[in-house]
Chains A and B, each alone.
Chain A
Amino acid sequence: MRISQHPILDQKTGREVSFTFDGQPLVGREGEMVSSALFANGIRTFSRHKVDNAPQGIFCANGQCAQCTVLIDGLPMKSCITPLREGMDIRTLVHYPTLPPDDELRPSRRPPELSCQVLVVGAGPSGITAAIELADAGYSVILVDDKDHLGGKLVLQTHKFFGSMADCYAGTRGTDIAKILEEEARKRENITIMTDSVVVGVFADGKAGIYQPQEERYLLLSFAGVIVATGARERSLVFPGNDLPGVFGAGAFQTLVNRDLVKSSERVLIVGCGNVGLIAAYHALQAGIDVVALIDIAPKVSGYKVHGDKIKRMGVPIYLSHTLVSVQGEGKVEKATIAQVDESWNPLLSTAKTFAVDTVLIAVGLSSVDEFYSAGLEAGFPVLKTGDANEIAEASSAMIGGRITGREMARRLGSTIDIPEEWFAKAEILKSPPGEVFPRTHTWPPEDGWQPVIHCYEEIPCNPCTTVCPHNSIQLTGRTGTIMDLPEFSGKCIGCGLCVLICPGLAITLVRESEEAGLAEVVLPYEFDHNFQPGDQVILRDVEGSDLGRGTVLRTRFNKKHRTHLLTLQVQADIATKVAGILVQDPAVTQPLPEADFTYLPDNAIVCRCERITVGQIKEFVRENEVTDLNQLKLLRTAMGACGGKTCLDLLPRVLMEAGVKKEEIRPATYRPLTVEIPMKALANQGGDKA
């Protein structure tokens, strides 16, 4: 189950290797993550929890949680960060592992010590740009990332970026921006790049501990200052069935699908209509995965309107003011039930709808990963945070934010380098949430030949259409005087289609009158593989997905640079300016099952995934012991598992409030290093078995 054809992404290369899973011979690609090799072979249960023997599936696919742990050659390892090698003996981890009786005494070594002026933790968009600024200001930088590549989550972003072309490569796909940034970083001699390296702690004595799993090595790194660019982790959600294999984060989904080209699912339901959820839906469709619905408990789409509109046009229903009642299945996700919510956000079970799905994606927001920042403040050395670690926003703003932070750190370390005022202004705008929505009227017919129709109604920080027009005929106009303003066309259009190709929202079409009276031609962007032939019929959709009848394909052309097709359709002239897209997904897949499942047992939802602690257990304990300090929940082993509370600590305050605790009385849990588990042999630098 691999994605053998993708409209945007190139096929993976890599030698085929054989391995076994629970004794069964399988084939994977050398160097891909073991989790992806297992998914590609249809395996979605990786371990059995000691509580209830419950099956565990992948959850974060990012090395943060430990849900994907399997036994590899007898040792428990996170499959999502372990590259596949020929001959691996991979097994389901059942409960706790047994330590192999390896009793040979080996020499231990002290960790090698490195030093630099600035340690940048995290090589995503903000970390790289910060490192570049520091290097250009003359500082020696060590840029550390736990993945085997640079770019952070940019490598998952197959879509074109918003923002401005001048500041953040707007109109370019995230995957391509990652390559550009990496090249820039590698050009600089005073940046030392360490990939496959996990910063596990920033300690009080001014040193960071770095674990290199591939070499089974542990290093200590001294520095004058630290920039924390560790990004964000996905928030989770508490609902019955949230522990079933097949419930995972939208980021995990993008990792499997976009980074590893593994078809993780056949049919997904997505919870959360922010940009992450909306984009995940789009990525699913591009990967040939059905999306039965997007839901959000809020009454409105919180992501960009252009993203939401795009999804709706393609045939994905969006259910607002809806919540997930439960996910059901025997050992894996088989069904998901949603229902509308009342004013107190409780489900109205009479409105329940149940869908047959194999995957539920959680896209309910991100929270900053900034533990090292707090550790740095506590230890008293210069520390700054940037990108999502500082504030959750788009990658476009992370790039300019990283540059500012890089220079701020240089100044903290004594440099007098200037930080241009306009950088701050740009950063501010790029992280703006969507502004107001304005109506538009589209003129018809065009004065002379082609004319763009801009289906962009909401203020968002984006302007590439204004930059590419060879006749400078698209300008931003509006109330803010920034790139939040809406683009307007006036002047000459030669029908080149550059604005159509570059628009990240797929919100621009070209229209002209046909020679035949009463008909018109419309040019649409199309980011799917297709085999349309002239004369084929397509179902036309207006901007928000209402049906406009049928149109006929006249011709198609493919723009290689933008990896986007331009479809020229013939439509009725009276709807020419209304056509914004075509239906992509068969409406039949979005139909609920005839019988809804009305079971609702919210106390059964899992809060702490590592230790399988339920809402019910926590509420009972909270009431019995009058708990207000989250540390007390450690008595239940909450947050004591492998991940160290990365998922549950975010969820706990709400559970406490449901149990009657006042918000202002709740005290946070103490954070302790390490960020990930490290084998003792690596801490003792015993040389590595693999070397």
Chain B
Amino acid sequence: MKNYDVVIVGAGSVGLPLAHRLAARGVRVGVVDELSSPGQGQNKAAIGGIRATHSDRAKIQIGIASLEFVRRLEEDYGEDVDWVQGGYLFPAYDQQIAENLKALLPIQKGYGLNIDWIGPEEVREIVPGIRAEGLLGGTFSPEDGHLSSLKLGGALYRLARRAGAEFHFETKVTGMEIVGGRVTAVLTDKGKFGCGTVVNAAGAFGREVGQMVGADLPVYPDSHEAGVTEPIQPLFNPMLVDIAPDEHSDNYYFYQAKEGAIVFCITPRPKRMGTDRRSTSEFLPMVIPRMLNLYPRLRNIRVRRVWRGLYPMTPDGVPIVGFDRDVEGFFHAVGMCGQGLMLGPGLAEIAAEAIVDGTEPEIFADLSPYRDFSGEELLK
């Protein structure tokens, strides 16, 4: 039996940065994951946007912390993850949408987010070739950006290992050993990992892992499909998010990665619940006409590949983070709602402190597994 201070279940968007933060603080960390290498679940499926542009306190503040981390990655750790601080731009062609976006600004600014409304001319300057007709302007948050999820996962894995974290891949968690109301080990198909604390960072499978200690977490994955084009010369910097729904879909969003490709994703309506990750024939005919309607110039770019990833959703769109009430030493960090990549680094800092120092920041109230889940997110 291997012994650790903390065992993290899941080497993904949350588990990787947390392993790094904990190990950097001298904690003996073991990470178990049933896949063959780090970030092979939803982490690499994330298209790469990193924003603090949300509509609630917890996600804005965690987002700001994540941005702080990725901005310093190269300088502090020598890791290039293709970070581009290109901002997030939500263009509006519809009066109602413009009003809705503007209404969020005071809340967003109130929590410290650098965001403002910009006029159509400025939008067109930032995104050359965006459809001019009917453009009313949009919100722009210049400190947001995008990076390669693959590279961030790879970098965090390297950093975590360098700091002393140990990883066990192709290791499937089968249960938890609980003695006297306290978790003492993680049981797996490769044996037992003894520990003082367990972190449930199992992403789309967070509910199943929670059930191993009797927790009933409302985490239900739905799925989105995404795609990537060939790389082209630089065209635009920000992540573009069109929140105007159409007949079969809600928002869609895309950006040009540092290496040149355009990466895109759409939210289908109705939602596709479940863990099916196979690509469907519906995705491209759904998303491409919408992209070309917004950005006609993209018509000549070639789509290279498509995939599908899971969004482990909570009823109110806010993650579930905090210690379990019934089993001592069991910490939940799940329900990232498809934003694990952008929340993970910021969350890791806060969670590491909570685990090591027992701190309980204010936002933990918003993230509590035992909160009232009836709220609804304003900006999805």
A680 x B292 contact (CB < 8 A) = yes
Looking at chain B's contact residues, the main secondary structure is: mixed
Q: Would you call B96 an interface residue if the criterion is a C-beta within 8 Å of the partner chain's C-beta atoms? A: no
Contacting residues, chain B, for A379 (C-beta < 8 A):
278
Contacting residues, chain A, for B291 (C-beta < 8 A):
680
Chain A residue, CB-CB nearest to B289: A108
B17 to chain A, nearest CB (A): 17
Given the known inter-chain contacts A105-B296, A203-B281, A205-B282, please indicate yes or no for A625 contacting B302, CB distance below 8 A. no
A101 x B297 contact (CB < 8 A) = yes
Contacting residues, chain A, for B169 (C-beta < 8 A):
629
B36 x A644 contact (CB < 8 A) = no
A626 to chain B, nearest CB (A): 8
Residues 275-314 (chain B) with a chain A CB within 8 angstroms: 276, 278-282, 284-285, 288-289, 291-293, 296-307
Stretch in contact with the other chain, from A14-22, A92-100, A357-365? A92-100
Q: Would you call A266 an interface residue if the criterion is a C-beta within 8 Å of the partner chain's C-beta atoms? A: no
Determine which residue in B36, B38, B292, B304 has the highest number of CB atoms from chain A within 10 A of its CB, and name it: B304
Q: Would you call A400 an interface residue if the criterion is a C-beta within 8 Å of the partner chain's C-beta atoms? A: no
Chain B residue, CB-CB nearest to A77: B302
Q: Would you call B192 an interface residue if the criterion is a C-beta within 8 Å of the partner chain's C-beta atoms? A: no
Q: Would you call B231 an interface residue if the criterion is a C-beta within 8 Å of the partner chain's C-beta atoms? A: yes
Q: Would you call A574 an interface residue if the criterion is a C-beta within 8 Å of the partner chain's C-beta atoms? A: no
Contact of B231 among A96, A104, A106 (CB under 8 A): A96
Q: Would you call A634 an interface residue if the criterion is a C-beta within 8 Å of the partner chain's C-beta atoms? A: yes
A99 x B151 contact (CB < 8 A) = no
Given the known inter-chain contacts A108-B293, A678-B302, A684-B289, please indicate yes or no for A627 contacting B37, CB distance below 8 A. yes
Q: Would you call B125 an interface residue if the criterion is a C-beta within 8 Å of the partner chain's C-beta atoms? A: no
A667 x B36 contact (CB < 8 A) = yes
Q: Would you call B182 an interface residue if the criterion is a C-beta within 8 Å of the partner chain's C-beta atoms? A: no
Determine which residue in A207, A379, A684 has the highest number of CB atoms from chain B within 10 A of its CB, and name it: A684
Residues 6-60 (chain B) with a chain A CB within 8 angstroms: 36-38, 40, 44
Given the known inter-chain contacts A102-B297, A634-B150, please indicate yes or no for A678 contacting B303, CB distance below 8 A. yes
Contacting residues, chain B, for A691 (C-beta < 8 A):
none
A666 to B378, CA, bound (A): 45
Q: Would you call B374 an interface residue if the criterion is a C-beta within 8 Å of the partner chain's C-beta atoms? A: no
Contacting residues, chain B, for A204 (C-beta < 8 A):
276, 278-280
Q: Would you call B131 an interface residue if the criterion is a C-beta within 8 Å of the partner chain's C-beta atoms? A: yes
A106 x B296 contact (CB < 8 A) = yes
Q: 1/0 contact trace for B80-121 toward A, CB 8 Å? A: 000000000000000000000000000000000000000000
Q: Would you call A378 an interface residue if the criterion is a C-beta within 8 Å of the partner chain's C-beta atoms? A: yes
A102 x B296 contact (CB < 8 A) = yes
A677 x B230 contact (CB < 8 A) = yes
Contact of B288 among A101, A629, A684 (CB under 8 A): A684
Q: 1/0 contact trace for B224-249 toward A, CB 8 Å? A: 00000111110100000000000000
B299 x A635 contact (CB < 8 A) = no
Q: Would you call A224 an interface residue if the criterion is a C-beta within 8 Å of the partner chain's C-beta atoms? A: no
B281 x A103 contact (CB < 8 A) = no
A679 to B230, CA, bound (A): 10
B157 x A220 contact (CB < 8 A) = no
A379 to B288, CA, bound (A): 24
Given the known inter-chain contacts A103-B129, A635-B150, A681-B292, please indicate yes or no for A672 contacting B279, CB distance below 8 A. yes
Contacting residues, chain A, for B302 (C-beta < 8 A):
76, 677-680
Q: Would you call A152 an interface residue if the criterion is a C-beta within 8 Å of the partner chain's C-beta atoms? A: no
A368 to chain B, nearest CB (A): 21
Determine which residue in A96, A635, A686 has the highest number of CB atoms from chain B within 10 A of its CB, and name it: A635
A205 x B305 contact (CB < 8 A) = no
Contacting residues, chain B, for A627 (C-beta < 8 A):
37
For chain B, the bracket of interface size reads 35 or more
B303 x A674 contact (CB < 8 A) = yes
Residues 247-292 (chain B) with a chain A CB within 8 angstroms: 259-260, 276, 278-282, 284-285, 288-289, 291-292
A146 to B150, CA, bound (A): 32
Contacting residues, chain B, for A680 (C-beta < 8 A):
229, 288, 291-292, 298-303
B264 to chain A, nearest CB (A): 10
A677 x B303 contact (CB < 8 A) = yes
Q: Would you call A429 an interface residue if the criterion is a C-beta within 8 Å of the partner chain's C-beta atoms? A: no
A110 to B233, CA, bound (A): 29
Determine which residue in A75, A106, A644, A679 has the highest number of CB atoms from chain B within 10 A of its CB, and name it: A679
Q: Would you call B154 an interface residue if the criterion is a C-beta within 8 Å of the partner chain's C-beta atoms? A: yes
Chain A residue, CB-CB nearest to B277: A204
A97 to B262, CA, bound (A): 13
Q: Would you call B158 an interface residue if the criterion is a C-beta within 8 Å of the partner chain's C-beta atoms? A: yes
Contacting residues, chain A, for B288 (C-beta < 8 A):
108, 680, 683-684
A673 to B227, CA, bound (A): 10
A225 to B128, CA, bound (A): 46
Q: Would you call B133 an interface residue if the criterion is a C-beta within 8 Å of the partner chain's C-beta atoms? A: yes
B7 to chain A, nearest CB (A): 20
A205 x B231 contact (CB < 8 A) = no
A201 x B292 contact (CB < 8 A) = no
A96 x B279 contact (CB < 8 A) = no
A604 to B305, CA, bound (A): 29
A103 x B307 contact (CB < 8 A) = no
A592 to B233, CA, bound (A): 45
A214 to chain B, nearest CB (A): 16
Q: Would you call A628 an interface residue if the criterion is a C-beta within 8 Å of the partner chain's C-beta atoms? A: yes
A5 to B351, CA, bound (A): 76
A48 to B40, CA, bound (A): 33
Looking at chain A's contact residues, the main secondary structure is: loop
Contact of B305 among A100, A104, A637, A672 (CB under 8 A): A672
Chain B residue, CB-CB nearest to A108: B289
A101 to B295, CA, bound (A): 11
Residues 596-637 (chain A) with a chain B CB within 8 angstroms: 624-625, 627-629, 631-632, 634-635, 637
Q: Would you call A209 an interface residue if the criterion is a C-beta within 8 Å of the partner chain's C-beta atoms? A: yes
Contacting residues, chain A, for B306 (C-beta < 8 A):
201, 672-674
A631 x B37 contact (CB < 8 A) = yes
Given the known inter-chain contacts A76-B230, A683-B284, A683-B288, please indicate yes or no for A673 contacting B279, CB distance below 8 A. yes
B232 x A98 contact (CB < 8 A) = yes
Contacting residues, chain B, for A99 (C-beta < 8 A):
232-233, 235, 297-298, 300-301
A644 x B304 contact (CB < 8 A) = yes
A111 to B282, CA, bound (A): 10
Chain A residue, CB-CB nearest to B303: A678
B243 to chain A, nearest CB (A): 20
A97 x B285 contact (CB < 8 A) = no
Given the known inter-chain contacts A672-B279, A680-B298, please indicate yes or no for A96 contacting B232, CB distance below 8 A. yes
Q: Would you call A9 an interface residue if the criterion is a C-beta within 8 Å of the partner chain's C-beta atoms? A: no
Contacting residues, chain B, for A629 (C-beta < 8 A):
36-37, 40, 169
B26 to chain A, nearest CB (A): 23
Contacting residues, chain A, for B151 (C-beta < 8 A):
635
Contacting residues, chain B, for A632 (C-beta < 8 A):
37-38, 154
Residues 130-148 (chain A) with a chain B CB within 8 angstroms: none
A205 to B230, CA, bound (A): 26
A101 to B300, CA, bound (A): 10
Chain B residue, CB-CB nearest to A95: B233
Chain A residue, CB-CB nearest to B128: A101
A673 to B306, CA, bound (A): 6
A208 to B157, CA, bound (A): 37
Contacting residues, chain A, for B231 (C-beta < 8 A):
96
B40 x A103 contact (CB < 8 A) = no
Q: Would you call A642 an interface residue if the criterion is a C-beta within 8 Å of the partner chain's C-beta atoms? A: yes
By a beta-carbon cutoff of 8 Å, the part of chain A in contact with chain B is 75-76, 95-106, 108, 110-111, 201, 203-205, 207-209, 218, 220, 375, 378-379, 624-625, 627-629, 631-632, 634-635, 637, 642, 644, 667, 670, 672-674, 677-681, 683-684, 686
Nearest 10 A-B pairs (CB), nearest first? A108-B289, A204-B278, A629-B37, A677-B302, A681-B299, A207-B281, A203-B281, A629-B36, A635-B154, A667-B36
Given contacts A220-B281, A672-B306, A673-B306, 11 further A-B contacts (CB under 8 A): A76-B230, A96-B233, A98-B232, A102-B296, A103-B296, A201-B279, A207-B281, A220-B285, A624-B158, A632-B38, A681-B300
A-B contact pairs, 12 of them (CB 8 A): A75-B300, A100-B300, A102-B296, A102-B299, A105-B293, A108-B289, A108-B292, A108-B293, A378-B278, A629-B37, A677-B229, A686-B292
